[in-house]
Structure 1
Amino acid sequence: MEKLTIGIVGFGVIGQRWTACFAHAGHAVRVFDPTERREAAFNEVLPALMADLDALKGSSPSPGEIHLFPTLAETLQGVDFVQENGPEDLALKRR
């Protein structure tokens, strides 16, 4: 399977789960969210998320790396795919 670089925009509950899923599949994941302290919350739930994915799909021999970036522009550099996870607010999504 080809390894991709995935951009995650929005790192709330859904974005965190997408991040774990892509990393579990071995893809590099670049994350952006304007809210502070999402990384600490994610680090607390990541072991349980990976354990759930292991139970569903088997262990990942080499999970992809996860990196958080302070800006959207930095996050999206070199990505192959973007998973947007913002609130269902059209004006916000357009910005």
Structure 2
Amino acid sequence: MKKLFLSAAIVLGSLTSFASTSPVTNTIVKSISIGDEYTEIKLEELPAPIAEAFKKGYPDAVITKAYKNEKSEYKLDVTVGSKVGSLYANADGTWIKK
């Protein structure tokens, strides 16, 4: 009987060492995404090379809004049927992937 109590005490004593808590360090990482600030422009102010490239590449699409940033990059809000999206281009009509 003494051996039974002794073995139970040893087993329970060894289990408590696994149940101890260790300090948890939470690391919080904040990422800030600084996007290019685009300002809205009139569709008439859109450079001719961009308008021509748009008509050639997307004949069924319609430009709803146009924007320009400090780097002379243009953002076009476009609709094709019921789909809405954005295109980006340089002043010379070259498309940019963003």
Shorter-chain TM range is under 0.3
Q: TM-score, length-normalised on structure 2?
A: 0.21
Higher helix share: 1
Name which one, 1 or 2, has greater alpha-carbon Rg.
2
Query: How does the TM-score come out when normalised to structure 1?
Result: 0.21
